[in-house]
Amino acid sequence: MTDDPHALFTAWAAEARASELNDSNAMALATTTADHQPSVRMVLLKGHDERGFVWYTNLESRKAGELLATNKAGLLFHWKSLRRQVRIDGLVSRVSDEEGDAYFATRSRDSQLGAWASEQSRPLDSRETFESRYEEMRARFENGDVPRPPHWSGFRLDPQRIEFWEDGAHRLHSRRLFTRTEGGWDEGLLYP
C-alpha cells in the first residue's frame, strides 16, 4: 500500500482503463452556484499529476462560471466494474494558455470546430442553428489549422482531500482518506 494518494490514484485509474467498457476517465464534477445550489455533471479527466486533475471546457459555460466564482470543486470517479470510487475535493485554477493550446491541438478537427460553434449552456432554438454555426466554422477554417478559441480552456483541481473507497462484503467497505497538510499528506481511515 502506498502512502502517496497520487500514486494510488494512478494505479487505480490504470486498472479502470483495463476493466471499464467506456470512459474510464469519466468523472462527476460538482460545483456550486453563488447562492450555494449544488450543480453536478460528467466530464472527462484529461490529465493527472502531482499538481492535480485537469479537464477542459468552454469558459462561458455554466460550470466554468461556477468554478471561476468559487475556485472550488469536487470530483467523483466511480468504477463499477472494480467496485471502487475516488472522491476528491480541492481548489480550482485555470491551466496555462500553453497547456490549453497543447491539449486543444490533440482534439479531432470536428471537436475543435465544435468548440468554436458551441455557445455551451446557453439556450438553443434548434439543432439546425448549431449545425449551421458548425458549418460556418468549417468554412472559416477550411484551409488551415483550427486554433483554440479564446473562450475555451482547462481547469486544474489541486486536491485538498482524496478519499479511496472499496466495496466490502456486507457493506463493510474500506475507506482511506488523505488530507493535504503543509508537509504533504495525512492519511487515515473512515468508518464505512
Whether residue 151 contacts residue 121, with contact meaning beta carbons closer than 8 Å, is answered with: no
Please determine, for residue 73, whether its predicted confidence score (pLDDT) is greater than 70: yes
33 phi, psi to nearest 5 deg: -80, 175
Please determine, for residue 135, whether its predicted confidence score (pLDDT) is greater than 70: yes
Q: How far apart are CA 69 and CA 138, in angstroms?
A: 33
pLDDT value for 2:
73
Closest CA relative to residue 56, chosen from 106, 131, 22: 106
pLDDT value for 1:
61
DSSP single-letter state for residue 60: T
Which pLDDT tens digit goes with each residue over 104-113?
Answer: 999 999 999 9
The alpha carbon of 81 is separated from its chain's Cα centroid by a whole number of angstroms, namely 20
pLDDT value for 147:
98
Q: Catalytic positions, please?
A: 171
Whether residue 42 contacts residue 22, with contact meaning beta carbons closer than 8 Å, is answered with: no
Which pLDDT tens digit goes with each residue over 5-63?
Answer: 999 999 999 999 999 989 999 999 999 998 999 999 999 999 999 999 999 999 999 99
The alpha carbon of 121 is separated from its chain's Cα centroid by a whole number of angstroms, namely 17
Which pLDDT tens digit goes with each residue over 142-187?
Answer: 999 999 999 999 999 999 999 999 999 999 999 999 999 998 999 9
Residue ranges of the domains in the chain? 5-107+149-189
Class of domain 5-107+149-189: mainly beta
Whether residue 181 contacts residue 161, with contact meaning beta carbons closer than 8 Å, is answered with: no
Q: Return the SS3 of 96.
A: coil
**CB-count exposure of residue 29 (10 Å: 0-12, 13-18, 19+):** buried
Please determine, for residue 125, whether its predicted confidence score (pLDDT) is greater than 90: yes
DSSP single-letter state for residue 169: G
